[in-house]
Amino acid sequence: MNKPAPSFNVNRRETLSWAFGLSVGSVLAGCGGGSSAGPTLDTLSDPQMLAATNKLLSMDLNAQYASQTMTIALAQDPGYPGAAKKIATSLRSFNGQYMAPTLVLNIGDTLRINLINKLPANVKGQSKLDYLNHQNSTNLHFHGLHVDPKEFRPGVFGDYVVDTAEAGVQPGESRQHELTIPQVHTNGIYWYHPHLHGSSNAQVSSGMFGAIIVRDPADKFITSPDIRERVIHVHKVSLKDGKTESFYDSAGAAASAFLLNGAYQPTIVMRPGEVQNWHLLNTASFYPFNPVLDDHTLLAYAKDGNVFDRKFKSINKATSTQFGNQQWPGNALYPGSRHSVVVKASDTPAFITCAL
């Protein structure tokens, strides 16, 4: 079936009440299929989560190569189920992970990241444009955070992305970042990734990205323990022989279908009527993403960390083609953007195929 989800006029109190009426019946497979032979497994992996302790989160972040097996589609528009294959990859990463950890901070917390570049020496001669010959130089951008964009004391940087290719963090070098989340900062979902002009595209396309969740302890909806919260990176890889070595690979190689947290067409398992809180991040370099959940309820409550004044906006098949101020933000999730959505699974126990 491919029916649009019904449109709901739902307020905040009603949405919260969903969490306390969860059924314990048969599981619902939300983005895949099922078998009567046994319970369906949830195959959407969650990123590692690191939270601040005593108002501080301090960590090393290594830019390095990592090898793993990925499943990608054999066609650009595969439908469901799509033909796929497994391939061995060798890609740039943060801390050897695809995806990097999700960092959880309260307003007022301090984040300290020591960015260590463990990538090999730059390969010259990849392009006639010199700034495209620094694919293993890097830096770090905190996308959407309202924080200091400068070196605010010797050797300690905020959200510093003004480097030329030669002035970025070179292979074998490191850079110390320190950010304090302002008390007036909005809570919500943000992310971090390289932003060195000339190399950021290949690095982000490889998987060098992670999420940041800023919490306001006064907002009980976001921090409710009764609603499962999931961070979902929506991403396409552009691979040439399992690698993304240069700008030309990331821009010119055929892109995979959208992967959710690195998984191709994963299964998301929810109980009938269950409610979850999802943060969808489009970490693809070039491609917009239009989420639709057939036969389920999908209500957006924030875009790019900005809450819709305690309102909910239905996202469904019908809204996926609507644009303009009245429909904003619609479904469209462009590269770098984030949707925060409340998801309510169908009340009918079934195995239902849905499209993201």
Task: Please provide residue 132's backbone torsions phi and psi, each rounded to the nearest 5 degrees.
Answer: -90, 5
Question: Can you give the pLDDT at residue 256?
Answer: 87
If 0-12 CB within 10 Å is exposed, 13-18 middle and 19+ buried, where does residue 129 land? exposed
Q: Is residue 239 part of a domain?
A: no
Single residue among 154, 181, 215 that ends a domain in this structure: 215
- The whole-number average pLDDT for the span 252-258 is 87
Q: Count of domains in the chain?
A: 2
pLDDT beyond 80 at 34 = no
Same-domain check for residues 71 and 176? yes
The per-residue b/e assignment along 196-232, b for 16 or more CB within 10 angstroms, e otherwise, is: bbbbbbbbbbbbbbbbbbbbbeeeebbeeeebebbbb
- Report the share of the chain in percent with pLDDT over 70: 83
Q: Is residue 210 part of a domain?
A: yes
How many C-beta atoms surround the C-beta of residue 321 within 10 A?
11
If 0-12 CB within 10 Å is exposed, 13-18 middle and 19+ buried, where does residue 70 land? buried
Same-domain check for residues 195 and 286? no
- Is the distance from CB of 354 to CB of 256 less than 8 angstroms? no
Same-domain check for residues 186 and 321? no
pLDDT beyond 60 at 51 = yes
pLDDT beyond 80 at 202 = yes
If 0-12 CB within 10 Å is exposed, 13-18 middle and 19+ buried, where does residue 86 land? exposed
Which long-range contacts (C-beta less than 8 Å, at least 24 apart) are formed by 155-162? 161/195, 161/196
Same-domain check for residues 53 and 39? no
Q: Is residue 142 part of a domain?
A: yes
- The whole-number average pLDDT for the span 332-353 is 82
Same-domain check for residues 146 and 66? yes
Q: How far, in Å, CA of 234 to CA of 329, rounded?
A: 17
Same-domain check for residues 307 and 158? no
pLDDT beyond 80 at 331 = no
Single residue among 175, 196, 215 that ends a domain in this structure: 215
Q: Look at 87 and 32; give whichever has higher pLDDT.
A: 87
Same-domain check for residues 30 and 57? no
Partners of 63 in the beta sheet?
94, 117
Same-domain check for residues 93 and 170? yes
Question: Can you give the pLDDT at residue 39?
Answer: 74
The chain-wide mean pLDDT, for the chain, equals 83
pLDDT beyond 90 at 320 = no
Single residue among 197, 215, 233 that ends a domain in this structure: 215
Q: Is residue 253 part of a domain?
A: no
Q: Is residue 205 part of a domain?
A: yes
Q: Is residue 91 part of a domain?
A: yes
Same-domain check for residues 191 and 277? no
Same-domain check for residues 114 and 204? yes
pLDDT beyond 50 at 353 = no
In this prediction the pTM is 0.87
Question: Can you give the pLDDT at residue 24?
Answer: 26
pLDDT beyond 80 at 314 = yes
> If pLDDT is split at 50, 70 and 90, which confidence band does 288 have?
confident
How many C-beta atoms surround the C-beta of residue 88 within 10 A?
11
Assign residue 211 the CATH number of its domain. 2.60.40.420
Q: Is residue 255 part of a domain?
A: no
pLDDT beyond 70 at 25 = no
Question: Can you give the pLDDT at residue 6?
Answer: 34
Same-domain check for residues 205 and 334? no
What are the tens digits of pLDDT across the range 226-248? 889 999 999 999 999 999 999 99
Question: Can you give the pLDDT at residue 213?
Answer: 96
pLDDT beyond 70 at 27 = no
Q: Is residue 319 part of a domain?
A: yes
Same-domain check for residues 16 and 91? no
Domain of 108, in residue numbers? 49-215
What are the tens digits of pLDDT across the range 100-135? 999 999 999 999 999 999 999 999 999 999 999 999
Q: How far, in Å, CA of 10 to CA of 58, rounded?
A: 40
